[in-house]
Amino acid sequence: MNKIFKFITILFVVCCCAAPASAKLNMFPKARYIPELNFYDDNGKAYKLKDFKSELLMVVLWSRTCGPCIKDMAHLDKFAQKVKDKGIRVILISPESEWKSVEERHIFMDRLLASHLESYVDKKANFMKGMGIFITPTVILVNKKTQEAGQITGSAKWDDPDMVQYMLKLKAKILKELDKGESAN
């Protein structure tokens, strides 16, 4: 039994340490259609991404069992506060099966210093599966036309001033590409 515990502990440490040290950006040559998939608020009300208006919506898919996700939460909270009046909105979606209750999720978020973030749940992982995403953390970048402009996978120090500036420039680039596409039609 002791050997099994040591093996599991070593495996956990290796997996956490092997997680991406920095986020990887994948921008799509052309923004793509997002299926109308539901996710849910604290009261069980269903939402779709089109219900969220923003110049750039960052949809953070995360799990409470994901070390890099947990590490990012306080940084994401600060980032969201810095950019909320600059056209970027951040929402979180986690698997509903990870939570015994809404209260448990809120307590967990408070402990992670992420209580300002909008948090939703994904019932039966339908949202993640429908988006074709099987790794966390993944950030889906959604333009104001509710199209997927790109994805960011892995961990980042979101509230770093350089990252904030980078994301504001990325938002401007996404808006420019969207405007360019509209003027071509």
Is residue 62 situated within a structural domain? yes
pTM value is: 0.85
Is residue 1 situated within a structural domain? no
In whole angstroms, give the CA distance from residue 45 to residue 124. 15
Is residue 47 situated within a structural domain? yes
Number of domains in the chain: 1
CATH code: domain of residue 39: 3.40.30.10
Neighbours of 22 (CB within 10 A): 9
**Which of helix, strand or coil describes residue 73?**
helix
**Which of helix, strand or coil describes residue 45?**
coil
> What is the residue whose two structure tokens read 């996404």?
174
Range of the domain at 42: 23-184
Instruction: Find the angle CA(61)-CA(63)-CA(69) to the nearest 5 degrees.
Output: 80
Is residue 57 situated within a structural domain? yes
Digit-by-digit pLDDT tens for the chain (185 residues) are 555 434 333 333 334 433 334 789 999 999 999 999 999 999 999 999 999 989 999 999 999 999 999 999 999 999 999 999 999 999 999 999 999 999 999 999 999 999 999 999 999 999 999 999 999 999 999 999 999 999 999 999 999 999 999 999 999 999 998 877 665 55
